[in-house]
């Protein structure tokens, strides 16, 4: 049995003093967790978060990374910069990046390759809109996000990629996918990964569910055979709620 990977996505929340407070509360609450616990914090919190969580079972992640190692890219942060800080994970291709910042499958693919080159574990987000689900395009959309976003990625590289299935209509809305929808869709994602990377690699890969996961619905979602964890936004801003999810135990 795999353990689960529960990652908090703080988005653009928590200045340094709030980050300190939240992590200080969280550390003792998840110290017995048998899962992998990750906090993906804003860039400005990274150094403090890494320092605070050193020697604990909380790993720190960033929320994006550029596709070049350095250069004239005002406002961007590179993979070697994250690596230097001791960051372990990075979210790439979140739907908010795709929607508000023009992120495409092609730029996502370039960012993933650079992150892997610097030994960062990638949380790659994919997911369909409500209109796409209602017009039965979910599988087609996920298929294209996976094949373009993971173009020319090898099976050994794929093992360092966690896929987060986040239906856009469930993010920050309080509307969670039903357990059955989440399980079915993630099972489809695993089949697609199996075609791309082989069955063994696809079995080893982690696929998370994200979108209004909270302390109440997490247990049921995480007990599904194909759901290997969660990417948690809103509920990760509260130490007690996030700890309840992170301490999931079958
Ligand atoms: P949510 O966010 O849990 O607030 O819906 C999830 C995400 O965007 O990663």
Respond yes or no: is residue 94 known to be catalytic: yes
pLDDT tens for each residue of the chain, 250 residues long: 789 999 999 999 999 999 999 999 999 999 999 999 999 999 999 999 999 999 999 999 999 999 999 999 999 999 999 999 999 999 999 999 999 999 999 999 999 999 999 999 999 999 999 999 999 999 999 999 999 999 999 999 999 999 999 999 999 998 888 999 999 999 999 999 999 999 999 999 999 999 999 999 999 999 999 999 999 999 999 999 999 999 999 8
The answer to whether the CB of 93 is under 6 A from ligand 1 is no
Query: Which of the following is catalytic: 32, 128, 166, 199?
Result: 166
Enumerate the β-bridge partners of residue 59: 38
Q: Give the tokens for residue 54.
A: 């050193």
Regarding the beta carbon of 103 and ligand 1, being less than 6 Å apart is answered: no
**Measured between alpha carbons, how far is 105 from 74 in angstroms, rounded to an integer?**
21
Provide φ and ψ at 71, rounded to 5°. Answer: 140, -170
Q: How many residues does the chain have?
A: 250
- Ligand 1 within 6 A of CB of 210: yes
For residue 195, what are the contacts with CB-CB under 8 A and spacing of at least 6? none
Residue 49 to residues 31, 53, 75, 88, Cα–Cα distance (Å): 16, 6, 21, 12
User: What does the alpha-carbon distance between residue 28 and residue 26 come to, in Å, rounded to a whole number?
Assistant: 6
């Amino acid at each position: 049995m795999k353990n689960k990977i529960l990652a908090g996505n703080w988005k653009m929340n928590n200045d340094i003093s709030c980050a300190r407070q939240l992590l200080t509360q969280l550390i003792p609450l998840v110290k017995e967790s048998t899962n992998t616990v990750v906090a993906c914090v804003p860039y400005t919190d990274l150094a403090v978060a890494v320092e605070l969580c050193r020697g604990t079972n909380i790993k720190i992640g960033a929320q994006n990374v550029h596709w070049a190692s350095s250069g004239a890219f005002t406002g961007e942060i590179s993979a070697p910069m994250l690596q230097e800080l001791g960051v372990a994970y990075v979210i790439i291709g979140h739907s908010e990046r795709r929607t508000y910042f023009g992120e495409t499958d092609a730029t996502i693919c370039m960012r993933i390759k650079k992150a892997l080159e610097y030994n960062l574990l990638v949380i790659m987000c994919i997911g369909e809109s409500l209109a796409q689900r209602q017009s039965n395009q979910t599988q087609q959309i996920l298929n294209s996000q996976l094949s373009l976003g993971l173009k020319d990625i090898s099976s050994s590289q794929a093992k360092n990629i966690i896929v987060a299935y986040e239906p856009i209509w469930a993010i920050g809305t309080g509307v969670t996918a039903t357990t059955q929808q989440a399980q079915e869709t993630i099972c489809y994602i695993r089949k697609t990964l199996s075609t791309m990377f082989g069955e063994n690699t696809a079995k080893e890969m982690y696929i998370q569910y994200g979108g209004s996961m909270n302390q109440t619905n997490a247990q049921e979602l995480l007990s599904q055979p194909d759901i290997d964890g969660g990417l948690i936004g809103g509920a990760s801003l509260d130490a007690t709620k996030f700890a309840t999810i992170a301490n999931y135990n079958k």
